[in-house]
Structure 1
Amino acid sequence: MALPVISVDDIGIRFARDKGRKLSLKDRFSAAERRRVPDQFWAFRNVTFDVQAGESIGVVGRNGQGKSTLLKIVAEVLIPDEGSVEVRKGVAPLIEITGGFVDDLSVRDNVYLAAGLHGVSKAQVDDEFDDIIAFAEVKDFVDTPYKHLSSGMRVRVAFAVVSRLDEPILLVDEVLAVGDRTFRRKCYARIEEMLAEGRTLFFVSHSDGDLQRFCTRGLYLDSGKLQYDGPIDEAFERYSSDYA
């Protein structure tokens, strides 16, 4: 069997509940292993799974259970406190997609900058520029500073750029929740095109319908653990039975 495109091995990550909390003198002078850190909690621990090329995986669970955190670890935006992640193919990150765009630059300059940061040549952007702008529906705002666009327009521009990256792995986090119905339909169609090309999808959404539309495998996160890994419909059944 071919190597997985994503290997997640026994990862865990923790966060501080109160970043402003000060350690007491007793805490400071105690041995490191005895220091009390009641302001820290584990989002999840001992999470292990592999992803094969061409799989479409949705992360299922309640708010606050670490779904987006898991995606950010796979995207290598966050580093786990325990375990390891190996991503063996290039990634198109439809995750916090307006990040990396520069407010004071024009839409035109941001398209070239964002694409260039992902290794796309200027000549390639030249060839696809009109299609990107048409998809984003910002033809009249090409030379407008990015900061003057509405939040919806910013997302449209960012999605139009990132979704055209020729990378084999798609990481998608809630991007379909923004914009109007017409734009969401365009997003659906574009993602379906990429899946038809054999791309691998790792998807987080609050919409059960979106997860079931695009994904065949589900990871169910709850109470700091990976509770289930299997067919997406079964993942939803486990989730529903726990919180019926």
Structure 2
Amino acid sequence: MGQDTIIKVDHVYMKFNLASERVDNFKEYVIKTLKKQISYDEFWALKDVSFEVKKGESLGLIGLNGSGKSTMLKTIAGVLKPTKGSVAINGNIAPLIELGAGFDMDLTARENVFLNGALLGYSRREMQEYYDDIVSFSELHDFMNVPVKNFSSGMVSRLAFAIATIGVPDILIVDEVLSVGDFRFQEKCERRIKAMLNQGTTLLFVSHSIEQVMMLCNKVVWLDHGVVKRFGDAKEIGEEYSRS
């Protein structure tokens, strides 16, 4: 991998085994599995996907639902291991794939700040330094001592985004998170992402809004049924995608 390459996806395949019949509960699943009464269909979510991302670039992944975008991001983030092929990463990653996935809903927002910070590799001292900025950005000043289980999805998204975007990570992965919350807060998130890009962060971005992708990204991977259909300039491919 070249010195200026921060992500290299090399002939990646991802296979899932999908149960071909419905099972209503875990007990039924165990019984049918032991009796070998469950068969599986192979589903290839990604097929021979290859591309490279240079440091400081912003790459959008576009395609219809089921095209493999989120699977590709989770593979790059290390959440999933490819069936075949490899992904090489040169830097640390701040993943915004499933907002609030690392939250303990019974804990308060304040407690979850430190819990999530630890999961992202930050010390308690570092999180204390970032704490005021997290509260300010999320606009949750009056709710930091409230259990997160009482939050709306928009409030959870605000808190998770504020935590995940502290500091300047080498790679920021964003999957559909800007579609949650009000328009004003979406713009605020976009401004923070742009500021991180200006500081050298590499962005991987998935959104159903092709306009958002074209605004934030300079490169695009267009996935179609798990296959790379196009890879290149965001504006050119984005306009072609809009016409398709």
Deviations along 1:49-100, whole A, 9 cap, x unmatched?
Answer: 1111011100121111011111111111111111111112000111112101
Q: 1:130 to 1:12 in 2, by over 3 A?
A: same
Size of the alignment, in residue pairs?
A: 234
For the 8 Å contact 2:11–2:86, the answer to whether it is kept is: yes
Identity %: 43
Q: Relative to 1, partners in 2 of residues 1:236 and 1:143: Cα closer, same or farther, differing over 3 Å? A: same
Query: In structure 1, what is the equivalent of residue 14 of structure 2?
Result: 13
Which position in structure 2 is the counterpart of 1:117?
119
User: What is the alpha-carbon distance in structure 1 between the residues aligned to residue 104 and residue 171 of structure 2?
Assistant: 25
The yes-or-no answer on 1:188 pairing with 2:193 is no
Assess, with a 3 A threshold, how the Cα gap between structure 1 residues 151 and 19 changes in structure 2: closer, same or farther: farther
Asked whether the 8 Å contact 1:92–1:165 carries over to 2, the reply is no
Unaligned runs of 5+ in 1: 29-36
In the alignment, the residues of structure 1 paired with residue 12 and residue 237 of structure 2 have an alpha-carbon distance, to the nearest angstrom, of: 20
Q: CA RMSD in A?
A: 2.2
Deviation at 1:227, TM superposition (A): 1.2
Q: Which of 138, 145, 148 lines up with 1:146 in the alignment?
A: 148
Residues 19, 40 of structure 2: 8 Å contact kept: no
Matches of 1:201 and 1:66 in 2, distance apart? 18
* TM-score of the superposed pair, with normalisation by structure 2: 0.89
Note the C-alpha offset of 1:240: 4.2
Q: How many Å separate the matches in 2 of 1:56 and 1:130?
A: 28
**1:234 Cα deviation after fit:** 2.4
1:234 partner amino acid: E
Q: How far does residue 149 in structure 1 lie from its aligned partner after superposition?
A: 1.1
Query: TM-score with structure 1 length normalisation?
Result: 0.89
Runs of 4+ residues over 2 Å off in structure 1:
15-23, 236-241
- Superposed CA deviations along residues 9-28 of structure 1, whole A, max 9, x for unmatched, are 100112234364778x9x99
Gaps of 5+ in 2: 23-31
Report SS of the residue matched to 1:39.
strand
